[in-house]
Amino acid sequence: MKRIFFTPGPSQLYPTVYGHIQKMLKKDLLSTSHRTVWFQETFKNAVSGLKNLLQIPTDYHIVFVSSGTEAMERIIQNSVSKKSFHFVNGSFSERWYEIAKELKKDPKKEEVEFGKGFHKVPTIPPGTELICFTHNETSSGVAINLELIYAVADKYPKALIGVDTVSSAPYVDLDYKKLDYVFFSVQKLFGLPAGLGIVILSPRALKKTQLLQKKGEAIGTYHNFLNLVTAAKDNFTTDTPNVFDIYLLSKVVADFQKKGIGKIRKETEEKARYIYNFFDKHQLYKPFVKDIQDRSQTIIAIHVGKDGGEIKEKLEANGMTIGNGYGPLKDTQLRIANLPAVTMQDIKNLLKLL
Ligand SMILES: *Cc1c(COP(=O)(O)O)cnc(C)c1O
Cα dist from 326 to 90, 137, 168, 231, 329, whole Å: 9, 11, 17, 38, 5
The answer to whether 74 touches 200, Cβ cutoff 8 Å, is no
* Cα 69 to middle of ligand 1, angstroms: 6
CB count in 10 Å sphere of residue 184:
28
Backbone angles phi, psi at 20, to 5 degrees: -65, -40
Mind listing the pLDDT tens digit for each residue in 145-188? 999 999 999 999 999 999 999 999 999 999 999 999 999 999 99
pLDDT confidence tier of residue 83, bands split at 50, 70 and 90: very high
* Cα 185 to middle of ligand 1, angstroms: 7
Residue 2's pLDDT is: 85
Smallest CA-to-CA distance from 72 within 51, 92, 50 is with 92
Tell whether ligand 1 has an atom less than 6 A from the beta carbon of residue 67. Answer: yes
Residue 325's pLDDT is: 92
What CA–CA distance (Å, rounded) separates 234 from 253?
21
Residue 110's pLDDT is: 98
Smallest CA-to-CA distance from 299 within 168, 169, 197, 184 is with 168
Portion of the chain with pLDDT greater than 70, in percent: 100
What CA–CA distance (Å, rounded) separates 151 from 136?
17
Mind listing the pLDDT tens digit for each residue in 306-346? 999 999 999 999 999 999 998 889 999 999 999 999 999 99
* Reduced DSSP (H G I as helix, E B as strand, rest coil) percent helix, strand, coil of the chain, to 5: 45, 15, 40
pLDDT confidence tier of residue 253, bands split at 50, 70 and 90: very high
Residue 1's pLDDT is: 65
Mutate which of 164, 172, 223, 296 for ligand 1? The one with the most ligand atoms within 8 Å of its CB, which is 164
Mind listing the pLDDT tens digit for each residue in 25-79? 999 999 999 999 999 999 999 999 999 999 999 999 999 999 999 999 999 999 9
Q: Which atom of ligand 1 is nearest to the CA of 137?
A: 13
Q: Which helix (H) or strand (E) holds 61?
A: strand 61-65
Q: What is the DSSP letter of 11?
A: -
Smallest CA-to-CA distance from 181 within 110, 107, 84, 261 is with 84
Q: What is the mean pLDDT of the chain?
A: 97
Mind listing the pLDDT tens digit for each residue in 270-310? 999 999 999 999 999 999 999 999 999 999 999 999 999 99
Tell whether ligand 1 has an atom less than 6 A from the beta carbon of residue 337. Answer: no
What CA–CA distance (Å, rounded) separates 52 from 333?
37
* Cα 117 to middle of ligand 1, angstroms: 18
Mutate which of 70, 166, 189, 196 for ligand 1? The one with the most ligand atoms within 8 Å of its CB, which is 166
pLDDT confidence tier of residue 122, bands split at 50, 70 and 90: very high
Q: In the chain, what is the greatest distance between 2 CA atoms, to the nearest angstrom? A: 61
Chain-centre distance of CA 185, in angstroms? Answer: 5
Portion of the chain with pLDDT greater than 90, in percent: 98
Tell whether ligand 1 has an atom less than 6 A from the beta carbon of residue 308. Answer: no
Examine the pLDDT at 142 and tell me if it is beyond 80: yes
Residue 327's pLDDT is: 87
Query: How much is the pTM?
Result: 0.98
Examine the pLDDT at 234 and tell me if it is beyond 80: yes
Tell whether ligand 1 has an atom less than 6 A from the beta carbon of residue 200. Answer: no
Cα dist from 222 to 201, 238, 240, whole Å: 17, 6, 11
